[in-house]
Amino acid sequence: MSSTSSAGPVQRRRVFYIPGYDPFHPRRYRELYRSEGAEQAEISGYDLTLGPKSSPGPFGWHVSASIEGADVETDIEVLVWSDIVKHSMRSTVAATYWQLLRTVWIYVATGTLWRLMRLRKGPVIAALYPVVILLVQAFLALLAGYAFARLTGVIGAWFSLPDLVAIFLQGSVGAGAAVMLLRLFKAHDNKLFVYYLMHDYAYSAGLCGAIPAELEARMKAFTATLRDALTENTVDEVLVVGHSSGAHIGVSVLADLLQEDLPEQRPVLSFLTLGQVVPMVSFLPRATRLRRDLREMSEQQSIAWYDVSAPGDGCAFALCDPVAVSGVAPPEQRWPIVFSAAFTKTLSPARWQALKRRYFRLHFQYLCAFDQPKHYDYFRITAGPLTLGARLKARGHSRSRLAKPLSRYRDMDKR
């Protein structure tokens, strides 16, 4: 049962979803699965019903599906680290600007920024977006502060205030106006996502690619959860799905899992990464643990690993082999198989026109319905009667896969 391409039918499955840097409650993913799954079922002609999950463990939901003539029962669970994300986002305005300076310095001083730009410009532009907007907001705040200070000076002259008092009032009012405007920008960040994205990049780069202690502890808990799932004899497949920065968390969790003494007879273990941003971390100097895990996952024979992205997703390193571009691919590299979700071909022209400039929404399209799905259908993969390896066994790399090693740093931890 441990073969990566087992063609045996799946009657029961457990899916473990690892989200990206997201502060929201995991019920958001349940409701997304409910609405988008219903739409995909209608488009593709199968049945999909959600209910409470039947297994213990993390937050999740149960899916009963009738797909390709087979009935399948699936429990989908979210491996939660949103509490860590929320804590990392509790920064003042001043602290966020310090994060900006520090993060930019790390990526520039290490030469990582230029190498990432040679890989894909889209995600680098997305990374620079919060930097630019925060600097614009700071400029506007300074401008507002200067204007209010000048106005206070004019009013002070009318009342013939002493010079020291006038200067104090001008400075206080000007500084207060600037601070209030910056706080106003932050309070309405749900429109621009500037602070959210800045915290995201700062968290990844905070230790120059090393994994923060609190996340390392959570990853050990994830590994234990997966180990427990593999001891069940009631499921046919355990599928791990890593989205965005959840992809590199999944790589390390599974690499650790493979070091354990797993039962020989166990469910098929599969790994699906979606819209990955691995190079944002693996290209940093202290990402030695991640680079080791990437190499180990690329040459193992126990887990089928497929990586799906799309050039239309400007927030992901689309079609970049995360192992190869990080410079740690062994000669016998087997995984991942990198292929495109091809948004321009799998979405209708009308839907593509509606979404193509909604960059953050497109980054979640992998979890949504497609008008004309081809090899990639999230709901067939997570709720259908075939394992990931069996469903995609005929799927090779996309011709536009990028595999040129570009990372300056290639040293790795040792086991």
- Note the helical H segments in 58-162: 82-88, 93-109, 112-119, 121-158
Q: Tell me, what's the pLDDT at 156?
A: 59
User: CB of 14 within 8 A of CB of 235?
Assistant: yes
Per-residue pLDDT tens for 238-290? 999 999 999 999 999 999 999 998 888 899 999 999 999 999 999 999 999 99
Q: What is the 3-state secondary structure (H, E, C) of 178-196?
A: HHHHHHHHHHCCCCCCHHH
Q: Tell me, what's the pLDDT at 1?
A: 44
* Nearest CA-CA partner of 17 in 314, 335, 238, 213: 238
Per-residue pLDDT tens for 146-172? 888 777 766 656 666 566 656 666 678
Tokens of 344: 């321009």
User: CB of 327 within 8 A of CB of 292?
Assistant: no
pTM exceeding 0.85: yes
Burial class (CB in 10 A: 0-12, 13-18, 19+), 398: buried
- Note the helical H segments in 206-271: 213-230, 246-257
**Structure-token match 């890989």, residue found:** 119
Per-residue pLDDT tens for 194-213? 999 999 999 989 899 999 99
For residues 54-78, average pLDDT: 91
Q: How many CB atoms lie within 10 A of CB 101?
A: 10
Burial class (CB in 10 A: 0-12, 13-18, 19+), 82: middle
Tokens of 313: 């997703």
Tokens of 159: 């009342």
Report the SS3 class of residue 389: helix
* Nearest CA-CA partner of 236 in 390, 79, 396: 390
Radius of gyration of the chain (CA): 24
Per-residue pLDDT tens for 329-384? 999 999 999 999 999 999 999 999 999 888 889 999 999 999 999 899 999 999 99
- Does pLDDT of 33 surpass 60? yes
- Does pLDDT of 389 surpass 90? yes
Tell me the pLDDT of the chain averaged across its residues: 92
User: CB of 343 within 8 A of CB of 364?
Assistant: no
User: CB of 270 within 8 A of CB of 42?
Assistant: no
For residues 86-101, average pLDDT: 93
Q: Tell me, what's the pLDDT at 329?
A: 97
